[in-house]
Structure 1
Amino acid sequence: MFSGSIPALVTPFGPDGAFVESAYRDFIEWQIAEGSSGLVPCGTTGEAATLSADEHYTAVRVCVEQAKGRVPVIAGAGSNDTRVAMQNIQAAKDAGADAALMVPPYYNRPNQEGIFRHFEAVANSCDLPIVLYNVPGRTVTDMAVETIARIAKAFPSVVGIKDATGIIQRASAQRIACGPDFCQLSGNDDMALAFNASGGVGCISVTANVAPRLCAEFQAACADEDYTLALDLQDRLFGLHTALFTDASPGPVKYALSVLKSAWPMALRLPMTPPGEASRAAVDAGLRTAGLIQ
Protein backbone atom coordinates (compact mmCIF):
# COMPACT_ATOMS: atom_id res chain seq x y z
CA MET A 1 0.00 0.00 0.00
CA PHE A 2 2.84 2.41 0.85
CA SER A 3 6.43 2.37 -0.38
CA GLY A 4 9.34 4.54 -1.48
CA SER A 5 10.41 7.89 -0.08
CA ILE A 6 7.74 9.42 2.14
CA PRO A 7 8.77 12.68 3.84
CA ALA A 8 7.64 13.37 7.38
CA LEU A 9 6.76 16.93 6.47
CA VAL A 10 7.99 19.93 8.41
CA THR A 11 5.29 22.45 9.28
CA PRO A 12 6.04 26.02 8.15
CA PHE A 13 5.62 28.69 10.81
CA GLY A 14 5.98 32.41 10.32
CA PRO A 15 7.95 34.75 12.63
CA ASP A 16 4.83 35.08 14.80
CA GLY A 17 4.59 31.31 15.14
CA ALA A 18 1.48 31.00 12.98
CA PHE A 19 0.98 28.14 10.53
CA VAL A 20 1.61 29.41 6.98
CA GLU A 21 -0.77 27.51 4.72
CA SER A 22 0.52 28.94 1.44
CA ALA A 23 4.07 27.82 2.20
CA TYR A 24 2.81 24.37 3.20
CA ARG A 25 1.03 24.01 -0.11
CA ASP A 26 4.15 25.11 -2.00
CA PHE A 27 6.25 22.66 -0.01
CA ILE A 28 3.89 19.78 -0.75
CA GLU A 29 3.86 20.65 -4.44
CA TRP A 30 7.68 20.62 -4.51
CA GLN A 31 7.79 17.27 -2.73
CA ILE A 32 5.47 15.66 -5.26
CA ALA A 33 7.31 17.20 -8.22
CA GLU A 34 10.62 15.85 -6.86
CA GLY A 35 9.34 12.28 -6.71
CA SER A 36 8.17 11.68 -3.14
CA SER A 37 5.80 8.72 -3.11
CA GLY A 38 3.72 9.75 -0.12
CA LEU A 39 3.35 12.46 2.52
CA VAL A 40 3.15 12.44 6.32
CA PRO A 41 1.69 15.62 7.81
CA CYS A 42 1.74 16.23 11.56
CA GLY A 43 4.40 13.73 12.53
CA THR A 44 7.31 14.29 14.89
CA THR A 45 9.23 16.33 12.31
CA GLY A 46 6.07 18.38 11.75
CA GLU A 47 6.19 19.54 15.39
CA ALA A 48 2.81 17.94 16.00
CA ALA A 49 3.36 18.18 19.75
CA THR A 50 3.08 21.98 19.50
CA LEU A 51 -0.01 22.08 17.26
CA SER A 52 -3.46 22.73 18.64
CA ALA A 53 -6.14 20.22 17.60
CA ASP A 54 -7.55 22.73 15.12
CA GLU A 55 -4.11 23.40 13.61
CA HIS A 56 -3.41 19.67 13.42
CA TYR A 57 -6.64 18.93 11.58
CA THR A 58 -6.15 21.94 9.31
CA ALA A 59 -2.65 20.81 8.31
CA VAL A 60 -3.93 17.33 7.46
CA ARG A 61 -6.80 18.74 5.44
CA VAL A 62 -4.53 21.12 3.54
CA CYS A 63 -2.09 18.29 2.79
CA VAL A 64 -4.87 16.09 1.41
CA GLU A 65 -6.28 18.95 -0.65
CA GLN A 66 -2.90 19.82 -2.14
CA ALA A 67 -1.91 16.22 -2.86
CA LYS A 68 -5.13 15.77 -4.86
CA GLY A 69 -4.78 12.00 -4.79
CA ARG A 70 -1.44 12.03 -6.61
CA VAL A 71 0.33 10.41 -3.66
CA PRO A 72 -1.10 8.89 -0.47
CA VAL A 73 -1.30 10.93 2.72
CA ILE A 74 -0.54 9.17 6.01
CA ALA A 75 -1.70 11.57 8.70
CA GLY A 76 -0.03 11.70 12.08
CA ALA A 77 -2.78 10.84 14.56
CA GLY A 78 -1.21 9.35 17.68
CA SER A 79 -1.81 10.36 21.28
CA ASN A 80 -1.08 9.08 24.75
CA ASP A 81 -4.82 9.43 25.44
CA THR A 82 -6.72 6.65 23.68
CA ARG A 83 -9.83 8.81 23.37
CA VAL A 84 -7.86 11.60 21.69
CA ALA A 85 -6.21 9.08 19.34
CA MET A 86 -9.71 7.92 18.35
CA GLN A 87 -10.73 11.52 17.66
CA ASN A 88 -7.56 12.12 15.64
CA ILE A 89 -7.98 9.10 13.39
CA GLN A 90 -11.61 9.98 12.71
CA ALA A 91 -10.58 13.54 11.84
CA ALA A 92 -7.90 12.15 9.49
CA LYS A 93 -10.51 10.00 7.76
CA ASP A 94 -12.94 12.92 7.50
CA ALA A 95 -10.17 15.01 5.91
CA GLY A 96 -9.61 12.34 3.26
CA ALA A 97 -6.29 10.91 4.45
CA ASP A 98 -5.32 7.49 3.12
CA ALA A 99 -4.03 6.21 6.48
CA ALA A 100 -3.09 7.27 9.99
CA LEU A 101 0.36 7.05 11.56
CA MET A 102 -0.10 6.01 15.18
CA VAL A 103 2.46 5.88 17.98
CA PRO A 104 1.76 3.80 21.07
CA PRO A 105 0.88 5.87 24.13
CA TYR A 106 3.86 7.92 25.27
CA TYR A 107 4.62 9.16 28.80
CA ASN A 108 1.99 6.83 30.34
CA ARG A 109 4.28 3.84 29.67
CA PRO A 110 1.60 1.13 29.32
CA ASN A 111 2.59 -2.53 29.34
CA GLN A 112 2.24 -4.66 26.21
CA GLU A 113 -1.38 -5.50 27.04
CA GLY A 114 -2.14 -1.80 27.41
CA ILE A 115 -0.57 -1.12 24.01
CA PHE A 116 -2.71 -3.84 22.44
CA ARG A 117 -5.88 -2.53 24.07
CA HIS A 118 -5.08 1.01 22.93
CA PHE A 119 -4.85 -0.06 19.30
CA GLU A 120 -7.87 -2.32 19.70
CA ALA A 121 -9.94 0.69 20.71
CA VAL A 122 -8.53 2.87 17.93
CA ALA A 123 -8.96 0.24 15.20
CA ASN A 124 -12.49 -0.58 16.32
CA SER A 125 -13.44 3.11 16.33
CA CYS A 126 -12.49 3.82 12.69
CA ASP A 127 -11.73 1.73 9.62
CA LEU A 128 -9.00 4.03 8.26
CA PRO A 129 -5.79 2.03 7.59
CA ILE A 130 -3.25 2.36 10.39
CA VAL A 131 0.54 2.42 10.13
CA LEU A 132 2.03 1.75 13.55
CA TYR A 133 4.94 3.97 14.58
CA ASN A 134 7.43 2.43 16.97
CA VAL A 135 9.85 5.08 18.22
CA PRO A 136 10.81 4.17 21.79
CA GLY A 137 13.50 6.86 21.88
CA ARG A 138 10.68 9.41 22.02
CA THR A 139 7.74 7.49 23.47
CA VAL A 140 9.65 5.43 26.07
CA THR A 141 7.26 2.67 24.97
CA ASP A 142 8.65 -0.13 22.82
CA MET A 143 6.13 -2.32 21.02
CA ALA A 144 7.42 -5.86 21.22
CA VAL A 145 7.52 -7.83 17.97
CA GLU A 146 4.97 -10.22 19.46
CA THR A 147 2.63 -7.32 20.25
CA ILE A 148 2.98 -5.90 16.75
CA ALA A 149 2.11 -9.30 15.28
CA ARG A 150 -0.84 -9.66 17.65
CA ILE A 151 -2.20 -6.26 16.63
CA ALA A 152 -1.65 -6.85 12.91
CA LYS A 153 -3.37 -10.24 12.99
CA ALA A 154 -6.30 -9.03 15.09
CA PHE A 155 -7.08 -5.86 13.13
CA PRO A 156 -6.94 -5.95 9.30
CA SER A 157 -6.86 -2.14 9.17
CA VAL A 158 -3.35 -2.23 10.71
CA VAL A 159 -1.36 -2.53 7.49
CA GLY A 160 2.22 -1.67 8.39
CA ILE A 161 4.78 -0.06 10.62
CA LYS A 162 7.25 2.80 10.67
CA ASP A 163 10.14 1.29 12.57
CA ALA A 164 12.35 3.86 14.27
CA THR A 165 13.77 1.56 16.93
CA GLY A 166 17.26 1.70 15.43
CA ILE A 167 17.38 -2.10 15.73
CA ILE A 168 17.92 -3.30 12.19
CA GLN A 169 17.09 -6.95 12.90
CA ARG A 170 13.55 -5.90 13.80
CA ALA A 171 12.78 -5.80 10.06
CA SER A 172 13.46 -9.53 9.77
CA ALA A 173 11.72 -10.40 13.03
CA GLN A 174 8.60 -8.42 12.08
CA ARG A 175 8.55 -9.87 8.57
CA ILE A 176 8.55 -13.38 10.02
CA ALA A 177 5.99 -12.52 12.70
CA CYS A 178 3.59 -10.45 10.58
CA GLY A 179 4.11 -11.90 7.11
CA PRO A 180 5.73 -10.52 3.96
CA ASP A 181 2.67 -8.41 3.05
CA PHE A 182 2.93 -6.36 6.24
CA CYS A 183 4.28 -3.00 5.05
CA GLN A 184 7.54 -2.10 6.78
CA LEU A 185 8.88 1.43 6.44
CA SER A 186 12.14 2.56 8.02
CA GLY A 187 11.99 5.49 10.39
CA ASN A 188 15.76 6.02 10.22
CA ASP A 189 17.21 7.42 7.00
CA ASP A 190 20.70 6.22 7.77
CA MET A 191 19.49 2.62 8.19
CA ALA A 192 17.11 2.53 5.21
CA LEU A 193 19.54 0.63 2.95
CA ALA A 194 19.94 -2.28 5.37
CA PHE A 195 16.26 -2.08 6.35
CA ASN A 196 15.13 -2.44 2.74
CA ALA A 197 17.52 -5.33 2.17
CA SER A 198 15.85 -7.03 5.15
CA GLY A 199 12.34 -6.70 3.76
CA GLY A 200 11.46 -3.02 4.10
CA VAL A 201 9.76 -1.21 1.25
CA GLY A 202 10.58 2.42 1.95
CA CYS A 203 11.25 5.13 4.50
CA ILE A 204 9.19 7.76 6.29
CA SER A 205 12.02 10.18 5.96
CA VAL A 206 13.40 13.30 7.58
CA THR A 207 16.07 13.84 4.92
CA ALA A 208 13.46 13.79 2.14
CA ASN A 209 12.29 17.18 3.40
CA VAL A 210 15.60 18.56 2.16
CA ALA A 211 16.65 16.16 -0.62
CA PRO A 212 13.41 14.67 -1.94
CA ARG A 213 14.70 13.74 -5.39
CA LEU A 214 17.82 11.99 -4.12
CA CYS A 215 15.80 10.11 -1.49
CA ALA A 216 13.26 9.06 -4.13
CA GLU A 217 16.04 7.87 -6.43
CA PHE A 218 17.60 5.93 -3.54
CA GLN A 219 14.34 4.17 -2.75
CA ALA A 220 13.72 3.40 -6.42
CA ALA A 221 17.18 1.83 -6.67
CA CYS A 222 16.40 -0.36 -3.65
CA ALA A 223 13.06 -1.39 -5.15
CA ASP A 224 14.85 -2.34 -8.38
CA GLU A 225 17.44 -4.27 -6.32
CA ASP A 226 20.14 -2.08 -7.84
CA TYR A 227 22.22 -1.98 -4.69
CA THR A 228 25.25 -0.60 -6.48
CA LEU A 229 23.34 2.57 -7.25
CA ALA A 230 21.62 2.51 -3.86
CA LEU A 231 24.96 2.31 -2.07
CA ASP A 232 26.32 5.21 -4.12
CA LEU A 233 23.30 7.33 -3.20
CA GLN A 234 23.58 6.21 0.43
CA ASP A 235 27.18 7.44 0.49
CA ARG A 236 26.13 10.73 -1.03
CA LEU A 237 23.30 11.24 1.48
CA PHE A 238 24.84 9.78 4.62
CA GLY A 239 26.49 12.99 5.81
CA LEU A 240 23.18 14.80 5.50
CA HIS A 241 21.31 11.98 7.28
CA THR A 242 23.73 12.38 10.18
CA ALA A 243 23.85 16.18 10.16
CA LEU A 244 20.08 16.54 10.45
CA PHE A 245 20.28 15.00 13.92
CA THR A 246 23.27 16.92 15.27
CA ASP A 247 20.84 19.06 17.25
CA ALA A 248 17.21 18.70 18.34
CA SER A 249 15.05 17.84 15.33
CA PRO A 250 13.56 19.51 13.38
CA GLY A 251 15.90 22.44 14.04
CA PRO A 252 18.61 21.26 11.62
CA VAL A 253 15.99 20.31 9.00
CA LYS A 254 14.44 23.74 9.04
CA TYR A 255 17.88 25.32 8.93
CA ALA A 256 18.73 23.23 5.85
CA LEU A 257 15.51 24.32 4.18
CA SER A 258 16.27 27.95 4.99
CA VAL A 259 19.56 27.51 3.09
CA LEU A 260 17.84 25.93 0.09
CA LYS A 261 14.55 27.87 0.13
CA SER A 262 15.26 31.17 1.84
CA ALA A 263 11.80 32.60 1.10
CA TRP A 264 9.94 29.83 2.94
CA PRO A 265 8.93 30.54 6.56
CA MET A 266 10.79 27.99 8.64
CA ALA A 267 10.59 29.29 12.20
CA LEU A 268 10.39 26.85 15.10
CA ARG A 269 7.92 26.78 17.95
CA LEU A 270 9.17 26.62 21.51
CA PRO A 271 10.44 24.51 23.12
CA MET A 272 12.31 23.84 19.85
CA THR A 273 15.11 26.31 19.12
CA PRO A 274 17.43 26.92 16.15
CA PRO A 275 20.43 24.57 15.88
CA GLY A 276 23.80 25.64 17.21
CA GLU A 277 26.81 26.68 15.17
CA ALA A 278 28.37 23.21 15.05
CA SER A 279 25.11 21.69 13.85
CA ARG A 280 24.69 24.35 11.16
CA ALA A 281 28.23 23.69 9.94
CA ALA A 282 27.50 19.95 9.79
CA VAL A 283 24.32 20.60 7.80
CA ASP A 284 26.18 22.84 5.37
CA ALA A 285 28.78 20.11 4.86
CA GLY A 286 26.07 17.50 4.35
CA LEU A 287 24.31 19.66 1.79
CA ARG A 288 27.59 20.09 -0.11
CA THR A 289 28.39 16.37 -0.08
CA ALA A 290 24.90 15.64 -1.39
CA GLY A 291 25.48 18.15 -4.17
CA LEU A 292 22.62 20.40 -3.08
CA ILE A 293 24.79 23.49 -2.58
CA GLN A 294 28.23 24.52 -3.78
Structure 2
Amino acid sequence: MNDVVGELIGKEFKCLDKGFIRLIDVMGDDSSIVQAARVSYGTGTKKVHEDRGLIRYLLRHLHTTPFEMVEFKFHVKLPIFVARQWIRHRTANVNEYSGRYSEMKDEFYVPSLDQIRPQSIVNKQGRGEEAFPQEQAEAIAERMRTTQDGLYDEYQDLLGENLAREIARINLPVSNYTEWYWKVDLHNLFHFLKLRIDPHAQYEIRVYGEAMAEIVRQIVPVAYEAFEDYILHSRRFSRNELRALRSYLTTLPDTVEALEPFGLKGREAREFLDKLRDTFA
Protein backbone atom coordinates (compact mmCIF):
# COMPACT_ATOMS: atom_id res chain seq x y z
CA MET A 1 0.00 0.00 0.00
CA ASN A 2 1.55 3.33 -1.04
CA ASP A 3 1.36 6.53 1.01
CA VAL A 4 -1.47 8.06 -1.04
CA VAL A 5 -3.70 5.02 -0.60
CA GLY A 6 -2.79 4.80 3.08
CA GLU A 7 -3.93 8.38 3.64
CA LEU A 8 -7.19 7.82 1.76
CA ILE A 9 -8.29 4.51 3.29
CA GLY A 10 -10.99 5.25 5.84
CA LYS A 11 -10.91 9.01 5.25
CA GLU A 12 -14.43 10.45 5.34
CA PHE A 13 -15.47 12.74 2.50
CA LYS A 14 -18.59 14.61 3.62
CA CYS A 15 -21.51 14.62 1.20
CA LEU A 16 -24.78 16.57 1.56
CA ASP A 17 -25.94 17.25 5.12
CA LYS A 18 -25.36 13.85 6.76
CA GLY A 19 -23.77 11.62 4.11
CA PHE A 20 -20.24 10.56 3.30
CA ILE A 21 -17.98 8.44 1.11
CA ARG A 22 -15.09 6.42 2.52
CA LEU A 23 -12.59 4.38 0.55
CA ILE A 24 -12.47 0.95 2.18
CA ASP A 25 -10.08 -0.87 -0.12
CA VAL A 26 -8.43 -0.61 -3.51
CA MET A 27 -6.75 -3.20 -5.69
CA GLY A 28 -4.26 -1.86 -8.20
CA ASP A 29 -3.13 1.47 -9.60
CA ASP A 30 -1.89 2.89 -12.90
CA SER A 31 0.84 0.25 -13.08
CA SER A 32 -1.78 -2.51 -12.86
CA ILE A 33 -3.39 -1.24 -16.07
CA VAL A 34 -0.02 -1.25 -17.83
CA GLN A 35 0.83 -4.71 -16.52
CA ALA A 36 -2.46 -6.17 -17.72
CA ALA A 37 -2.14 -4.52 -21.13
CA ARG A 38 1.36 -5.85 -21.69
CA VAL A 39 0.19 -9.40 -21.04
CA SER A 40 -2.24 -8.86 -23.92
CA TYR A 41 0.13 -6.99 -26.21
CA GLY A 42 3.10 -9.30 -25.67
CA THR A 43 6.78 -8.73 -25.04
CA GLY A 44 8.50 -5.67 -26.38
CA THR A 45 5.58 -3.33 -25.82
CA LYS A 46 7.48 -1.25 -23.29
CA LYS A 47 10.01 -0.34 -25.96
CA VAL A 48 7.23 1.27 -27.99
CA HIS A 49 5.12 2.89 -25.28
CA GLU A 50 5.93 4.57 -22.03
CA ASP A 51 3.41 3.81 -19.29
CA ARG A 52 1.51 7.08 -19.65
CA GLY A 53 1.40 6.79 -23.41
CA LEU A 54 0.12 3.24 -23.22
CA ILE A 55 -2.67 4.11 -20.77
CA ARG A 56 -3.75 7.02 -22.94
CA TYR A 57 -3.62 4.87 -26.08
CA LEU A 58 -5.79 2.20 -24.44
CA LEU A 59 -8.49 4.61 -23.34
CA ARG A 60 -8.38 6.62 -26.57
CA HIS A 61 -9.09 3.44 -28.52
CA LEU A 62 -11.55 2.04 -25.97
CA HIS A 63 -9.41 -0.95 -25.05
CA THR A 64 -11.01 -1.01 -21.62
CA THR A 65 -10.31 -4.51 -20.29
CA PRO A 66 -7.00 -3.53 -18.59
CA PHE A 67 -8.88 -0.86 -16.61
CA GLU A 68 -11.08 -3.58 -15.16
CA MET A 69 -8.02 -4.92 -13.31
CA VAL A 70 -8.22 -1.98 -10.86
CA GLU A 71 -11.02 -2.17 -8.27
CA PHE A 72 -12.34 0.21 -5.63
CA LYS A 73 -14.51 -0.56 -2.61
CA PHE A 74 -16.40 2.33 -1.02
CA HIS A 75 -18.55 2.75 2.08
CA VAL A 76 -21.30 5.22 1.20
CA LYS A 77 -23.97 6.88 3.33
CA LEU A 78 -26.63 8.42 1.13
CA PRO A 79 -30.35 9.26 0.94
CA ILE A 80 -32.49 6.44 -0.42
CA PHE A 81 -33.60 8.47 -3.45
CA VAL A 82 -29.94 8.93 -4.41
CA ALA A 83 -29.35 5.21 -3.89
CA ARG A 84 -32.22 4.41 -6.27
CA GLN A 85 -30.53 6.46 -9.01
CA TRP A 86 -27.14 5.00 -8.18
CA ILE A 87 -28.29 1.36 -8.30
CA ARG A 88 -29.18 1.76 -11.97
CA HIS A 89 -25.46 1.25 -12.57
CA ARG A 90 -25.66 -2.53 -12.52
CA THR A 91 -21.97 -3.30 -13.03
CA ALA A 92 -20.93 -3.13 -9.38
CA ASN A 93 -21.26 -5.30 -6.27
CA VAL A 94 -23.49 -3.82 -3.57
CA ASN A 95 -24.37 -4.76 -0.01
CA GLU A 96 -26.86 -2.37 1.63
CA TYR A 97 -28.00 -1.71 5.19
CA SER A 98 -31.13 -3.78 5.81
CA GLY A 99 -34.31 -2.30 7.25
CA ARG A 100 -35.58 -5.86 7.80
CA TYR A 101 -32.78 -6.82 10.15
CA SER A 102 -32.11 -3.45 11.76
CA GLU A 103 -34.02 -0.31 12.68
CA MET A 104 -33.81 2.53 10.19
CA LYS A 105 -31.96 5.49 11.63
CA ASP A 106 -33.51 8.87 12.41
CA GLU A 107 -31.49 10.60 9.69
CA PHE A 108 -33.09 12.39 6.77
CA TYR A 109 -31.83 14.62 4.01
CA VAL A 110 -33.06 18.20 3.89
CA PRO A 111 -31.71 20.26 0.98
CA SER A 112 -29.75 23.41 1.70
CA LEU A 113 -31.76 26.56 1.03
CA ASP A 114 -29.90 27.31 -2.20
CA GLN A 115 -30.99 23.92 -3.58
CA ILE A 116 -34.69 24.42 -2.82
CA ARG A 117 -35.76 25.60 -6.27
CA PRO A 118 -38.80 25.53 -8.56
CA GLN A 119 -39.18 23.07 -11.41
CA SER A 120 -37.07 23.93 -14.42
CA ILE A 121 -39.01 25.31 -17.38
CA VAL A 122 -36.58 23.71 -19.86
CA ASN A 123 -35.76 20.40 -18.15
CA LYS A 124 -38.69 18.18 -17.22
CA GLN A 125 -36.62 16.16 -14.74
CA GLY A 126 -34.64 18.89 -13.02
CA ARG A 127 -34.80 22.01 -10.88
CA GLY A 128 -34.39 25.55 -12.11
CA GLU A 129 -31.32 27.74 -11.80
CA GLU A 130 -32.74 30.19 -9.28
CA ALA A 131 -33.60 29.34 -5.68
CA PHE A 132 -36.84 30.36 -4.01
CA PRO A 133 -36.72 33.52 -1.89
CA GLN A 134 -35.12 32.73 1.45
CA GLU A 135 -38.30 32.99 3.50
CA GLN A 136 -40.16 30.63 1.18
CA ALA A 137 -37.21 28.19 1.06
CA GLU A 138 -36.99 28.15 4.86
CA ALA A 139 -40.71 27.40 5.12
CA ILE A 140 -40.38 24.51 2.64
CA ALA A 141 -37.37 23.08 4.49
CA GLU A 142 -39.27 23.26 7.78
CA ARG A 143 -42.25 21.43 6.24
CA MET A 144 -39.88 18.70 5.06
CA ARG A 145 -38.40 18.31 8.56
CA THR A 146 -41.84 18.23 10.16
CA THR A 147 -43.03 15.50 7.79
CA GLN A 148 -39.85 13.47 8.29
CA ASP A 149 -40.09 13.74 12.09
CA GLY A 150 -43.76 12.74 12.05
CA LEU A 151 -43.19 9.71 9.84
CA TYR A 152 -40.25 8.54 11.94
CA ASP A 153 -42.33 8.91 15.13
CA GLU A 154 -45.03 6.75 13.51
CA TYR A 155 -42.36 4.21 12.53
CA GLN A 156 -41.19 4.03 16.14
CA ASP A 157 -44.77 3.69 17.36
CA LEU A 158 -45.37 0.77 14.99
CA LEU A 159 -42.19 -0.93 16.18
CA GLY A 160 -43.42 -0.35 19.73
CA GLU A 161 -46.56 -2.32 18.84
CA ASN A 162 -44.26 -5.17 17.75
CA LEU A 163 -45.01 -4.71 14.05
CA ALA A 164 -42.35 -6.43 11.95
CA ARG A 165 -39.52 -4.13 10.93
CA GLU A 166 -39.97 -5.08 7.27
CA ILE A 167 -43.53 -3.70 7.38
CA ALA A 168 -43.02 -0.78 9.77
CA ARG A 169 -40.42 0.77 7.46
CA ILE A 170 -42.58 1.04 4.35
CA ASN A 171 -44.00 4.49 5.11
CA LEU A 172 -40.60 6.08 5.65
CA PRO A 173 -39.70 8.62 2.96
CA VAL A 174 -36.93 8.28 0.38
CA SER A 175 -35.08 11.14 2.14
CA ASN A 176 -34.13 8.60 4.84
CA TYR A 177 -30.41 7.81 4.81
CA THR A 178 -29.14 4.33 4.03
CA GLU A 179 -25.61 2.92 3.80
CA TRP A 180 -23.89 0.41 1.57
CA TYR A 181 -20.60 -1.05 0.45
CA TRP A 182 -20.08 -0.54 -3.28
CA LYS A 183 -17.30 -2.32 -5.18
CA VAL A 184 -16.58 -1.53 -8.83
CA ASP A 185 -13.77 -1.82 -11.36
CA LEU A 186 -12.18 1.29 -12.86
CA HIS A 187 -13.70 0.87 -16.32
CA ASN A 188 -17.25 0.87 -14.95
CA LEU A 189 -16.39 3.53 -12.39
CA PHE A 190 -15.34 5.84 -15.22
CA HIS A 191 -18.71 5.21 -16.86
CA PHE A 192 -20.46 6.06 -13.59
CA LEU A 193 -18.47 9.27 -13.21
CA LYS A 194 -19.06 10.29 -16.84
CA LEU A 195 -22.81 10.33 -16.14
CA ARG A 196 -22.91 11.43 -12.52
CA ILE A 197 -20.48 14.35 -12.44
CA ASP A 198 -21.98 15.79 -15.59
CA PRO A 199 -23.58 19.21 -14.94
CA HIS A 200 -26.94 17.76 -16.03
CA ALA A 201 -26.90 15.08 -13.32
CA GLN A 202 -29.03 15.69 -10.24
CA TYR A 203 -27.13 17.80 -7.74
CA GLU A 204 -27.38 15.31 -4.89
CA ILE A 205 -25.78 12.39 -6.74
CA ARG A 206 -23.29 14.74 -8.39
CA VAL A 207 -21.93 15.62 -4.94
CA TYR A 208 -21.10 11.96 -4.37
CA GLY A 209 -19.66 11.58 -7.84
CA GLU A 210 -17.34 14.55 -7.32
CA ALA A 211 -16.12 13.20 -3.97
CA MET A 212 -15.47 9.82 -5.53
CA ALA A 213 -13.67 11.43 -8.48
CA GLU A 214 -11.32 13.20 -6.07
CA ILE A 215 -10.39 9.86 -4.51
CA VAL A 216 -9.89 8.11 -7.84
CA ARG A 217 -7.81 10.97 -9.26
CA GLN A 218 -5.26 10.55 -6.47
CA ILE A 219 -4.92 6.78 -6.81
CA VAL A 220 -4.78 6.47 -10.62
CA PRO A 221 -3.69 9.96 -11.74
CA VAL A 222 -2.53 8.93 -15.23
CA ALA A 223 -5.70 6.96 -15.99
CA TYR A 224 -7.85 9.75 -14.59
CA GLU A 225 -6.11 12.32 -16.79
CA ALA A 226 -6.84 10.11 -19.80
CA PHE A 227 -10.47 9.77 -18.64
CA GLU A 228 -10.79 13.57 -18.50
CA ASP A 229 -9.24 14.01 -21.94
CA TYR A 230 -10.95 11.21 -23.88
CA ILE A 231 -14.25 10.62 -22.06
CA LEU A 232 -15.33 13.25 -19.57
CA HIS A 233 -14.59 16.33 -21.70
CA SER A 234 -14.99 14.75 -25.12
CA ARG A 235 -18.04 14.99 -27.37
CA ARG A 236 -19.66 12.71 -29.93
CA PHE A 237 -21.08 13.95 -33.23
CA SER A 238 -23.86 12.40 -35.26
CA ARG A 239 -23.60 11.93 -39.02
CA ASN A 240 -25.76 14.98 -39.66
CA GLU A 241 -23.73 17.07 -37.23
CA LEU A 242 -20.56 16.08 -39.07
CA ARG A 243 -22.16 17.06 -42.35
CA ALA A 244 -22.88 20.47 -40.86
CA LEU A 245 -19.28 20.79 -39.68
CA ARG A 246 -18.00 19.91 -43.14
CA SER A 247 -19.94 22.80 -44.60
CA TYR A 248 -18.37 25.31 -42.20
CA LEU A 249 -14.79 24.11 -41.82
CA THR A 250 -12.58 25.48 -44.56
CA THR A 251 -9.10 25.17 -43.04
CA LEU A 252 -7.65 22.06 -41.42
CA PRO A 253 -4.20 21.46 -39.92
CA ASP A 254 -1.93 19.35 -42.11
CA THR A 255 1.16 18.83 -39.95
CA VAL A 256 1.89 17.31 -36.56
CA GLU A 257 3.78 20.45 -35.57
CA ALA A 258 0.67 22.60 -36.03
CA LEU A 259 -1.07 20.56 -33.32
CA GLU A 260 1.58 20.83 -30.62
CA PRO A 261 0.11 24.05 -29.07
CA PHE A 262 -3.03 22.01 -28.33
CA GLY A 263 -1.16 19.26 -26.50
CA LEU A 264 -1.33 16.82 -29.41
CA LYS A 265 1.99 15.21 -30.22
CA GLY A 266 3.45 12.14 -31.84
CA ARG A 267 1.14 9.24 -32.46
CA GLU A 268 -1.88 10.99 -30.99
CA ALA A 269 -1.39 13.93 -33.35
CA ARG A 270 -1.02 11.63 -36.34
CA GLU A 271 -4.21 9.79 -35.39
CA PHE A 272 -6.02 13.11 -35.18
CA LEU A 273 -4.86 14.14 -38.64
CA ASP A 274 -6.02 10.79 -40.03
CA LYS A 275 -9.36 11.30 -38.31
CA LEU A 276 -9.74 14.76 -39.86
CA ARG A 277 -8.90 13.46 -43.33
CA ASP A 278 -11.33 10.56 -43.00
CA THR A 279 -14.09 12.81 -41.75
CA PHE A 280 -13.72 15.99 -43.78
CA ALA A 281 -11.92 14.99 -46.95
TM-score, shorter chain, exceeding 0.5: no
The normalised TM-score by structure 2 is 0.24
The normalised TM-score by structure 1 is 0.24
Larger RCO of the pair (alpha carbons < 8 Å, separation 6+): 2
